[in-house]
Each structure stands twice: as C-alpha cells, then as structure tokens.
Structure 1
Amino acid sequence: MLNYVIKRLLGLIPTLFIVSVLVFLFVHMLPGDPARLIAGPEADAQVIELVRQQLGLDQPLYHQFWHYISNAVQGDFGLSMVSRRPVADEIASRFMPTLWLTITSMVWAVIFGMAAGIIAAVWRNRWPDRLSMTIAVSGISFPAFALGMLLIQVFSVELGWLPTVGADSWQHYILPSLTLGAAVAAVMARFTRASFVDVLSEDYMRTARAKGVSENLGCPQTRAT
C-alpha cells in the first residue's frame, strides 16, 4: 500500500510540471500588460518599467519560469494583483471553508445517493424506482450553476430561509453543498441501484424470498454480511 501511494505521488511530479508549464505559457499569451495593470491607468512609462523590473517581467521567459517554479516549490506564489496580499495567505484563509464545503457535499451525496439507489432497487419497476431514477437523471443533466441559482432564488430570495454568501455558520454551507453534491448523489444512486438489483437477483436472495423473507429484511442482512 505504501509503495502504491509513493508511486502515485511520484507520478504526479511530471503531471504538475507539465501543468505548470502550460499555465505559465497561457498567462503570457493573454493580451494586456501586467505591469500596466498593477501600476494603474494613469502611470507613466517610467513607473510601468519600474514595476516590470520589480516583477521580473523584463527577464527572458525561461528565467521567469525558473523564478516562478523555484518560488512555488518553496510555497511562495507571489502577491495577488487584487488584494496585494501573498497568494499563499489568500489560499490559506479560504482552505478551511472549502474543505468543509467539500466534506458536507460528499456526506449528503453519499447518504441521499445510497438511500435513493436502495429504494429504487427494492421497489424496482414501481413508482419509487421511477421517481428516484428520474431525479437521478435530472441531477446528472442539470447544470450545477443553474441549480445553484435556482436554489438561491427559492430558498434565499423567495423564502428567506438560507443565506447566499458567507461561511460563518452551518447554514451557509447548505445551498452550495447541495449544488456540488447533486451530481455525485445522482451517479451514486444509479450505481447503488444497479448493484442492489444484481444482489437481489442472486440465488440466495431467491431462496430467501421462497422461504418467506421479504426484500426489505433481506437487504439489511445482505449489507451486514
């Protein structure tokens, strides 16, 4: 297991390097002058040139890339052009809210996705199955940004139950976690249903039903084993 993890981590190194090269080149291909943007619209040519020298933009491209990658390895990602704060601090201040949002979205996606899949499998080809799979297909097909806007409109604007921005309380995580977890829950519901249908078609389940054991009782016993 440890060797597998080490191999996977080592395999990330060339991938990260290639992504870093592509991002670096893409940023330099964008129109506009970063030095002029930082200096401001009213800055003269001397100020812009001074800013360009401070940022190292007057250096050759390969030298800029080496400076960028060596600082990034040390955790120095430069300053934000918007807030003028270190990028590492900007990332750190948003790390925990992002982590909690990811955890909450995955937890509810697993719970609701598995529950919908089990219900659809036990009552397959009946209205709970059709309803669950219809919702699952809708969750996969519906764009996340559209779902988020719909939830905001209904639960924040119309009903006023939940906040739209911030990360101060658990209520702030409900709408974004539902938005992020909808597609995952839909996929999990479909996979869970397929797996349970296969289990319910096994010989031992048919034998249990022949002896009078209902599927509602057989499924928990199957999961326990």
Structure 2
Amino acid sequence: MAREEVKLFKSLSSPYGWRVVWALKLKGIEYEVIDEDLANKSPQLLQYNPIHKKIPLLVHNDNPIAESLVILEYVDETWKQYPILPQDPHERAAARFWAKFGDAKVLPSIWGSFTKQGKEQEEMFEEAMGNLKCLEEQLVGKKFFGGEKIGCVDLAVGWLGYWVPILEEILGMKLIGKEKFPLLSVWMENFSNFPIIKDNLPPREEMISTYKAYQKKYHSLAVKN
C-alpha cells in the first residue's frame, strides 16, 4: 500500500487549525504541518485553496479539503480509528449542530467581548454568557461533550479551554467562572489536561503577546471609525 501524504496548512495563533491537529493526533495519523504567515500566504496555500485563500487546509494525497469543521468530518470518515462523530444519525446531527453553534455563536460573542469597548463590549459579553449557558446544559451528566471521550464537539469548542484563559488574563475579567459555569469549567480542565491536547498547544506567552496586539489593532480601528 502506497504511503499516504497528509499536509496541514494552519497558523500558530488560530484555534481553527489546532482542532484539526488534535483530531489527527487522536487518530494517530502522520502528517506534515505548514505554519502560514497570514500576511504573506504561501503559493502552495493559494494554489490549493484559491477560493477562500484561508487556513486551515488539509491536503490528503494532493486533494485539498477546506473549512475546519468540514475537515474534521473528512478526517473521521477517512480514518475510522477513534471515531469522533457518533454513529447514531440523531446524535451525529446534534454533534454537527453544536459544533456549528460554537463557531457561529460562541466564538464571535467571546471575540466581541475581547475586542469591543464600552456598551458594545457589554452587549457582546451578555450574548456570550447566554451562549455559554447553552453549552453548559449540554454537559449535564457527561465528562466531555462526546460522553466519556473526546468527540467532534469537544474538538470544535476546545479553544475555550486554552484561549479563553488567555483572553481573560488580557482583559482582567472572568468570562467562564466556576460559580456560573461549573460543568464548563470542569470540562475545560479535563480537555486541556488530556495528554494529546496538552502536548499540542501553541506557546502561551507568545499567544498572550499576539492577542494583545490583536486587541490593540481592533481598538485602534474602532477609534478611527
């Protein structure tokens, strides 16, 4: 059997690429990683993803797959070991829904809480609290969103466990406290301390520096507008 070629184009600071890293690691798939400079994207990335020109991008035997949630499903369907999506059709649909909810609702509201100021920030913070409450309810009676083991939803919202504490440190405020979100707080610890996850995270100090720069940039743009 010919050796499979798997390449992952991602960036160091973006959580979208790391969820693909975690999925590949859980399944024991060997791959080459290409960390992109998003200000100066490589010709390879532009060749393989000419429409969106974005990361992450998985290239499997020269076939490109774009969009991180789509990549997670592709990885799960291609390599059957350690399934990350449920086999039951309803549970599978629910997992897709909550993974999408994380990207469409949770992430923008938390990012808005980090980048906005004044009344806009307060509004985004309230929205984030409502979205997090929805996630909290999905963890009743479970260790992970996937049950007793890490699944697709855990990978999709896994950034909460590592990136949110970084944003909290920069903001000087708590987004996910143990009193308000006890289940989510425990899940964050369980997920972040899972060996494969813990061993595959970007350097914390570098992320703090990077995200401080992001915040400064957004605040500066808001002043200009």
TM-score with structure 1 setting the length: 0.26
Task: Report which of the two has the higher share of strand.
Answer: 2
Task: Report which of the two has the higher share of helix.
Answer: 1
Greater Cα radius of gyration, structure 1 or 2:
1
